[in-house]
A = this chain, B = another copy of it.
Amino acid sequence: MVTPMSSSAADVVTSFIAACERLDLDAAIDHMSADVEYWNVPMEKVYGHDGVRGVLEPFLGPFEEIEWPVSHMVAEGTAESGTVFTERVDRFRAGDVWLELPVAGMFLVRGGKITVWRDYFDLNGFMGEMGKLSAS
């Protein structure tokens, strides 16, 4: 991805979320700097493209379709240097079952890439949703 220098920080995050929704892991990771910090806050921090892939691949892999609708986004700055918050209900479909995860995410964007991504959510809530899969 080449981010035009006129882009906003919000554009970078919106494009990243769209890549995740296409289940296009390579495109998603291409939105991130080589030294990106990614923290699913209930879990361990990971760093770099391989670290992100190690978390996102098993997170997205079981699902046929995902939607991350953004209920609120507030951003400041450009793709060169900015900060973006999103409030979302991430939705994951396996077969006929949709799982839902309410989440608030904070992104720092530098030089057209995401350098920090921290998603805040309740891990037990998500594990409860995962239980729908074995129950179905």
Contact = CB atoms under 8 A, between A and B. Distances in A.
A8 interface: no
Interface string A75-109: 11000000111010000000000000011111010
A44 B103 CA distance: 15
Copies in the complex: 2
A87 to B, nearest CB: 5
A108 B124 CA distance: 26
Given A75-B74, A84-B74, A120 B103 contact: yes
B122 A121 contact: yes
A93 to B, nearest CB: 22
Interface in A58-72: 72
